[in-house]
Structure 1
Amino acid sequence: MRVATVNVNGIRAAARKHMATWLEACAPDVLLLQEVRADETTAAALLPGYESVIWPCRVKGRAGVGVAVREGAPVEVGTVRRGVSDPDTVEPDVDSGRWLEVDLTPVSPNTAAAAAAPAAAATTPTLTVVSAYFHSGQVGTIKMDQKYAHLNLVDVRMASLLAGAAAGGPDVLMAGDLNIVRSEQDIKNWRPNHNKSAGVLDEEIAYLERWFGDGWVDVARSLAPDAQGPYTWWSQRGQAFDNNAGWRIDYQVATPRLAERARAFTVDRAASYAERWSDHAPLVVDYDL
C-alpha cells in the first residue's frame, strides 16, 4: 500500500498548478493532506478517484487536514475522529483543522466465501491513519503558545494510540507537516536557526524525541539513517529551492509493527521551481500489508 503525505499550501492553488499530474503519476492508495484551506465539497471535487474526508479549520483560509483513499485501494474509509481536544475546554484555534484520524478497514472481497464470513471481520480496522498539521509557531508570540498547547494535547493522544496498538489494536500511522526538525540532518542551515527559529527549538524537538523514544518510528529516517534530509520544505524566499536549502518537517510516524513493513520511501521534489505546486514536496512510503 502506498501512502503519501503532503502539505498542499491550499488545495485550490495546488490544483491550478497541476497537482493532478503528480497524483496520477504517484497514485497513492492513501493520501494525507495538510493546509487544505477549503471545505469538504470543494476539496473532494479536486480529488477525483478518491473518497475523501476533510476537516476544515473553523477560521476560513487557515489550516485544514484531509484523508483520501483511492478507488481500488485495498482499504476503505471507516470511523472518523476529529481533533485531540474538547472544544468546550480548549481554545478552538489551537486544535481546529489540525488532527484527523480515520480508521481504514479492508475492502470487502466480492466472493461467495467472503460473504459467508463473519460481518465483523470486514469492519475491523486494519490501520488508523492520522493527518496532522502542527502550528508553525513564531518565537516570542502567541503563535508559539498555541503550538505548545497543541503539542501537549497531541502528546497525550500519541501515548494513547501507541498503547492501543501495543495491546493488540490496529497499527497507527500519524503523518503530516509537523513543523519541527529533529537534528542537523534535517535542515540545511542548522547553526543560524537552532534555538532561534520556531521549528528548530530544543523544547519542540523534545516532543518528537520523546515519541520516538517511547516506540514510535520515524519511517523515512529509519529507511535512510545516514542521509542528509531529504528535505520536504523550502522557503519561497530567495533561492532556497534552487540551492536545496530545505527543512525536513514532513513525517510518517508509525507504530513499530507497521514501520517494519515499510519498504521504500521517496520525497517527490519537483524538477524545478517553476514546476512546484506547493512549497512542500510529498513524502511517499510503500508498505507491505
Structure 2
Amino acid sequence: MRIATFNVNGIRAAQRRGFEQWLRERDPDVVALQEVRARASAIPHGVFGPYHLAYDEGTLAGRNGVAVLTRHAPESVRTWTGTALLRAPGETHTDTVELEPTPLARGLREFANQGRYLEVDLADAPITVASLYLPKGGLPAHLQKPGRMREAPDGGARYERKMRFLDAFARQLTRSRRDARARGREFLLMGDLNIAHTRYDVRNWRRSNQMEGFLPEEREWFDSILSPRTLVDVVRGRHPDTDGPYTWWSWLGQSFVGDVGWRIDYHLATPRLARAAVAAGTDREPSPDRRMSDHAAVVVDYDLTHTPPPSGDGRGDAYGR
C-alpha cells in the first residue's frame, strides 16, 4: 500500500503546477493533504481524480485545511469540529456532514475550528490515518530582535500559541492512538509538523538552534511523542543518520538548488506498521521550475501482507486484507 503526505500550499496553485499528473503517476492508495487553502466550492473540479475526499477546511479563509484521499470510501471520519466534507469521485457538492463527536483533550478547543486535523479509518486495511497541520509558531520574546526578523515582533504570541497546541495535542495524540488500537487498527499520523526533530533534519542545523521549528523545547516535545512502543518515525527508520531527505525549502534564493532544506513532514506510525515500510522517501522535483509547493510529498510503501517479527519476539505479523 502506497501512502503519501503532501503540504500542497494551496490546492489551486498546486493543480496549476502539476498536482494531477503527480497523483496519476505516483498512484498512491492514500494521500494526506495539508494547507489545501480552499473553500469546498473553490476546490478545482476533478483535481482529486478517482479518490474519495474527506476534508476539514476550517474557518480561516484562505488558510490551513486538511484532507485525506482514499481509493475506497472510508469506514469512518473524525475531525475536531465534528463535521467534514465527504465526496465520492466526481461529486461536487459543498455540504458538510455531521460526524460522531470526538472528545477533545484539554486545551485543544482553541484550535478546533482551524482546519488542522482529520483522521479516517481505512476500509481496505486495518489502519487509522490522520492528517495534521501543526502551527508554524514563532520565537519566544527573549529571542525576538527587531531588524533581524521577517515578521514584526509579537512579544512571543505565536510561540506561546504553538506551545499550547503541542501540550494539548500530545494528549489528543495518545488518545487517538489508543482508540485506534481498541478498534484493532494501527495508527499513522502524517503531515506538516513544522518541527525539524534532529540535526539530520536541518541542513544548517548549527545556525538553526534559535529559529522557530528547531528550538530545543520543540525538539524535546518531538522526543516525547516517539518511542519504540508508541510511534516511530518511518522515514528516519529507513534513512538513519543521514541528512534529510528534506521536505521543505524556501522559495527565496537558491535554497532548493543547493538542497538547503528542512525535514518537517512526517509519517509517524505505530511500531508494527512502521516495520511494514519497504520504501520511503521524498518526491523532490528535479528543478525549481517544476516545484508544486514549497514542500515535497513524502511517500512510503507499506507491505501489509507480512511484517518482520519484533526484535526477540520470534513471531511474524500478518495483516488481513
Q: Normalising by the residue count of structure 2, what TM-score does the alignment of the two structures yield?
A: 0.78
Q: CA deviation at 1:86?
A: 5.0
Residue equivalent to 1:171: 186
SS at match of 2:4: strand
SS at match of 1:53: strand
Task: Write the letter of the residue equivalent to 1:211.
Answer: I
Count of residue correspondences: 266
1:99 and 2:99 matched: no
Q: Distance in 2 between matches of 1:170 and 1:40?
A: 30
Q: Distance in 1 between matches of 2:41 and 2:74?
A: 17
Q: Distance in 2 between matches of 1:64 and 1:77?
A: 19
Within the candidate set 68, 76, 81, 1:79 is matched to 76
Residue equivalent to 2:50: 49
Task: Write the letter of the residue equivalent to 1:55.
Answer: D
Distance of aligned partners of 1:59 and 1:167 in 2 relative to their CA distance in 1, 3 Å threshold = closer
Distance of aligned partners of 1:273 and 1:77 in 2 relative to their CA distance in 1, 3 Å threshold = same
Q: CA deviation at 1:42?
A: 3.5
Residue equivalent to 2:33: 33
Q: Distance in 1 between matches of 2:130 and 2:139?
A: 27
Q: Distance in 2 between matches of 1:162 and 1:89?
A: 18
Residue equivalent to 2:166: 151
Write the mapping of 1:197-236 to structure 2, written as runs, cut at 5 A.
Answer: 197-213=211-227, 215-236=230-251
SS at match of 1:49: coil
Residue equivalent to 2:134: 134
Distance of aligned partners of 1:188 and 1:53 in 2 relative to their CA distance in 1, 3 Å threshold = same
Q: CA deviation at 1:87?
A: 11
SS at match of 1:206: helix
Root mean square deviation, CA, Å: 2.1
Task: Write the letter of the residue equivalent to 2:172.
Answer: R
Residue equivalent to 1:251: 266
Q: Distance in 1 between matches of 2:108 and 2:232?
A: 29
- Aligned sequence identity (%): 41
Q: Which has the higher helix share?
A: 1
Residue equivalent to 2:8: 8
Q: Distance in 2 between matches of 1:27 and 1:58?
A: 31
SS at match of 2:67: strand
CA distances 1:232-285 after superposition (whole Å, capped 9, x unpaired): 000111110011000000000001111111111121000000000100000000
Q: Distance in 2 between matches of 1:191 and 1:88?
A: 35
Q: CA deviation at 1:288?
A: 1.4
Q: CA deviation at 1:92?
A: 4.0
Distance of aligned partners of 1:150 and 1:127 in 2 relative to their CA distance in 1, 3 Å threshold = same
Residue equivalent to 1:112: none
Distance of aligned partners of 1:24 and 1:226 in 2 relative to their CA distance in 1, 3 Å threshold = same
Runs of 5+ unmatched residues, structure 2: 81-101, 141-155, 305-321
Q: Distance in 1 between matches of 2:103 and 2:204?
A: 35
Asked whether the equivalents of residues 94 and 150 of structure 1 are also in contact (C-alpha less than 8 Å), the reply is no
Q: Distance in 2 between matches of 1:237 and 1:224?
A: 27
Residue equivalent to 1:238: 253
SS at match of 2:74: strand
Residue equivalent to 2:67: 66
Q: Distance in 1 between matches of 2:104 and 2:113?
A: 9
SS at match of 2:75: strand
Q: Distance in 1 between matches of 2:271 and 2:221?
A: 18
Deviates more, 1:135-144 or 1:49-58: 135-144
